[in-house]
Chains A and B, each alone.
Chain A
Amino acid sequence: MSKRRIFPLAVALLSFLYAAVLLAGFVAPYDPAEQDREYPFAPPTHLHFIDAQGTLHAWPFTYALTSSPDNFAQYQEDRGRVFPLRFFVVGENYSLLGFVACHRHLYGVDEPGRLFLLGTDGYGRDQFSRLLWGGRISLLAGLIAATLSLSMGMLVGAASGYFGGFVDDVLMWLVELFLAVPWLYLLFAVRAFLPLHIGPTVAFLLVVAVIGMVGWARPARLIRGVVLSARERKYVLAARGFGASHFYLLRRHVLPQTMGVFLTQAALLVPQYILAEVTLSFLGLGVGEPVPSWGNMLGSLQQYHILASYWWMLVPGLVLVPVFWAYHVLADFLHERVEFGH
């Protein structure tokens, strides 16, 4: 597949994912915190077209699940009653995008049927709904942290490259120190020195801040390089000859040159930071219960019996693959187009 066709595909995929995650309340059939103690570790619900009598339905449907009292998490389909798939159903209240109160959901089935597209966890919570709500945390954490890192990196790199001298020496030494520690160790160390037991919202902000703070060094160095060479250009000298201030030179001639590096680094850092949040939450150092994040959803897999028996619990990890792929395609594209020519 040619590069030119893959790029729009990647953009489409990411837009779709981010949209779905932002509209989590609508797309998800159930509330992420809603526990259904009767259905712990239920496998993904099957959608059927042909019922027990052999009739073909025009519309997919599900069966209710019954559990055998002796076997934990072993379920049987009750073929007695059919629950057709419905769209735009009325369900739990939620606030769309944080401020519009709604109660319509994209899809669902009538009570007492259940449609667990990706199964449930130990508390009977719908994994698909949690995936969407958790995606908000993980995907947005990556984005915000990347913005933080890049802004800091831009500031440091521009100051260092443009003004040179003592400022440059000091800042580059700092960069060297930050890059001397393997980045996950650095992340953990910074996290270590901050309070452990904190509420989910504080945890989210903390995680974003920590990840953002740890990763400024490499972008700073790259941007410094660009600024150094841009600063030496003759047209910058010419503008100085007209009486341009430092601010003007930076704004008009120097910083626009950094856009290429900036964007490419963004495409590389966001997936890395998403993974950082997932890792921290997985180990209990990030966003915790009851707020779902892809990381803490994977956390239960640290118990081997869960890892072995319930494959759908791996989905929050599996969904990272297309996300990473899309960002890598983006990074490649930007690297070729924007960094090396205009």
Chain B
Amino acid sequence: MTVERAGRPRRGGGPPGEPRRVGYLYLLPAFLVYAAFLLYPLVRSVQLSFYRWDGLTLGTWVGLDNYLEVVQDQGLRAAFAHALVLMVFYALVPLVVGLGLASILNRAKVRGLGFFRTVVFLPQVVAMVVVAVAWRRIYAPDGTLNSLLSAVGLGSLTRGWLGDYTLALPAVGFIGTWFETGLVTVLLLAGMGRISGELYEAARLDGAGPVREFLTVTLPSVRGEIAVALTLTVIAALRTFDLVYVTTRGGPGNSTSVPSYEVYHRAFELGQVGSAAAIGVCLTVIIFVISFAITRVGDRETT
């Protein structure tokens, strides 16, 4: 990067050769599809968000009302607050657990690591609907979790987990924890595997124990991986749709409604298309800001 900025000839940086117009031609088909089915809808989304429209009759221009609603409407504020709670379950918990697991595994070169990696990464490739079906079974009133609790004498704790007003959201969040922890662990393991052994030797010569070794060597070395992990998981939390749609449909009440679900619910079930578009635009902006912010912080701290 710095080399290019210093204005040296682009031997190492950019693509080789002189400017080529034919590049546009190679780009054209991809760009057409991309523009027609992603860029144009995004612009239309912004446009729709300024209207009150039921999807059938003529819409009316309402200016920023739909955005004001996002800030003021109780239900929508709750939905965004739920997304924040989900972020704890999707991003924070997996990060803490993943850091612990990965550093333990990295310290002791255990055998069977490849198998372990395959297993803990598996949730990532299973369709979310299938995941939701599995966890609905686990959380059901006559499901696995309650049988387990009864078996160990905690029968008083059994309940229909997804029908409980206070516990449904954490229950959905925990599915996210289950889903993301493997990914985060594998990601951090890869990062830790690249740390040179000499750094640990040096730390040990200084008399550092496992904890100080973790804080002074491991943690700073995987800042880039932490940034990537946080970006992935925070965005996944914000985009939770399939899981909520299949497990709770936002209920009971609106205790598990999230922004993504509200987009679908309002546009295609309530006929509040403008409002749905505004939520979608907000969601997009939030995702862009968060991923830029996390990447920036990660970059600055690694260099």
Q: Is the A/B pair a real complex?
A: no
**A interface vs B, CB < 8 Å?**
none
B interface, CB within 8 angstroms of A: none
